[in-house]
Amino acid sequence: RVHRPRRLFHMTEPLTEDEKVVAYDLWVARLNSKAGAVRDEYLPAAHRLWERGWISRRFHDGDDLVWEFTDQGLTALLSEPSHN
């Protein structure tokens, strides 16, 4: 079962450093047609990205929580302003 966010944040809000780490890791996993796990210290950032619709989460094999980068996240990532 895929868990959908209950509310979406404004898509142009800047990402925190932790959100960038999670988004990058799950984006790379998506490029390889995979889902990913999120380390405990990054769970709050993952949850915020889930609320924004950037990632989805589901249970695999009953008790393993896996995360996936969504199409909405890809669209938002491509529209993120560059901070060079």
76, pLDDT greater than 90: no
50, pLDDT greater than 70: yes
Q: Report the 10 Å Cβ neighbour count for 16.
A: 13
pLDDT band at 44 (very low <50, low <70, confident <90, very high): very high
Q: What is the pLDDT of residue 12?
A: 58
Range 74-82, long-range pairs (CB < 8 A, 24+ positions): 74/27, 74/30, 76/11, 76/52, 77/23, 77/27, 79/11, 79/12, 80/15, 81/12
Q: What is the pLDDT of residue 49?
A: 96
pLDDT digits (tens, 9 = 90+) for 1-43: 555 554 444 455 789 999 999 999 999 999 999 999 999 999 9
Across the range 30-58, mean pLDDT stands at 95
Buried b (16+ CB within 10 A) or exposed e, 32-41: eeebbebeee
Which one has a higher pLDDT value, 31 or 76?
Answer: 31
